[in-house]
Amino acid sequence: MTTLSIVELITEHRLLLLITFIFIWISFKLSQLLLVYLKYTVGKWCFSKRKTLHKAGEWAVVTGASSGIGEAYAEELAKESLNIMLISNDEEQLSCVANRIANIYNVQTRFVVADFTKNDVYEIIKPAVEQLSTIACLVNNVGMGLPIELFTGEVNSPNEESIQNIIHCNILSTVTMTSIILPKMLTQKEPYPGIINLGSYTGFKVFPYVSLYASTKAAIIHFSRCLAAEMYQKNFIIQIMNPLFVSTNLTHQMKPTFFIPTAKIYAKSSLDMYGVTQQITGYFPHELKAFVYNLFPISLWLKLIEHTFCPYREQSKKAD
């Protein structure tokens, strides 16, 4: 068959070829969606290590634990009979959460008052961690963000202090807490202790208007993936949770919906997926939204972000 005849054949059947290509593409995408669904059903049932966490150690350490996702994670881990060390900068709220968890779940609790935007905070945390017998799980949850981060100076241009604070709180905290606790966990003989790092879907996509926050989350995701490769074949779990919107203080307590869970609903769902897969949103409706968003071409995605953030941008201009 000559080159010319092949071209003629393609031209003659181009509609059929186009339909075939579209069918294959749709089938591939639907298979991806089915795989995600199976992870949250069959995968969770078969491979979740949540119920074995109490065998991996006696304590769980949770940062940013005075409210929101951190508090909810602490409560879910206490349900697995783990003692809880809570770390955050709000002493009054920490004390309240620690006492409530201890009374309800009959576990030991300790708390450390620590401001993760400060360089010397780990001098307080490290001695406290060394006093723990064995550690089953570290949840690197602490984080902060700015409402709108326009480096153009148009509105809310971040200053040096705010830039440093968000980098310290979001990136340095995750890396340093891991460096403090991981060596201790590796000396333990019990299988499947782990580290859960809270990333964000913003770390995957181009996210204007929250560029600094999104970049810190991208750094956490990449750090976690590299660390997971190092820990391969060590019976140790490194898991990255990348949620979309959750109703917390960081999202100004958005009204909970099917796609915007409360912190309690999110923490339960994500901890149920412990050990199932390395990188996940942690909440099936978030997987559905992420699946749809990932189909968008970049031009359409940027228009969606512009539409989403435009009201907040205008409010910030008026406030200035």
Task: State the CATH class of domain 49-294.
Answer: alpha beta
Answer yes or no: are the C-beta atoms of 143 and 212 closer than 8 Å.
no
**Hey, what's the torsion of the CAs at 213, 115, 195, 214, to 10 degrees?**
0
Instruction: Return the percentage of the chain with pLDDT > 70, whole number.
Output: 88
pTM: 0.89
Report how far residue 283's alpha carbon sits from residue 316's, in angstroms, rounded to the nearest whole number.
Answer: 31
What is the distance of C-alpha 61 from the center of its chain? Answer: 16
Under 8 Å between Cβ of 170 and 144: yes
Does pLDDT of 318 surpass 80? Answer: no
Instruction: Express as a percent the part of the chain with pLDDT over 90.
Output: 69
Q: Rounded mean pLDDT of the chain?
A: 89
Q: 239: helix, coil or strand?
A: strand
Residues in the chain: 320
For residues 313 and 155, the answer to whether their CB atoms sit within 8 Å is: yes
Query: What is the per-residue pLDDT across 27-70, written as a single tens digit (0 to 9) for each?
Result: 998 999 999 999 999 999 999 999 999 999 999 999 999 999 99
DSSP letter at 256? P
Tell me the longest C-alpha to C-alpha distance in the chain. Answer: 81
pLDDT tens-digit readout, 80-109: 999 999 999 999 999 999 999 999 999 999
Sheet of 135-140, strands arranged across: 109-113, 83-88, 59-63, 135-140, 194-198, 237-241, 279-280
Look at residue 316 and tell me whether its pLDDT is greater than 60: no
pLDDT bracket for residue 4 (50, 70, 90): low
Q: What are the tens digits of pLDDT across the range 109-159?
A: 999 999 999 989 999 999 999 999 999 999 999 998 766 665 555 555 677
pLDDT at 86: 98
Measure the CA–CA gap between 135 and 80, rounded to whole angstroms.
Answer: 13
Residues taking part in catalysis? 213
Q: How many alpha carbons lie under 13 Å from residue 313 in its C-beta half-sphere?
A: 14
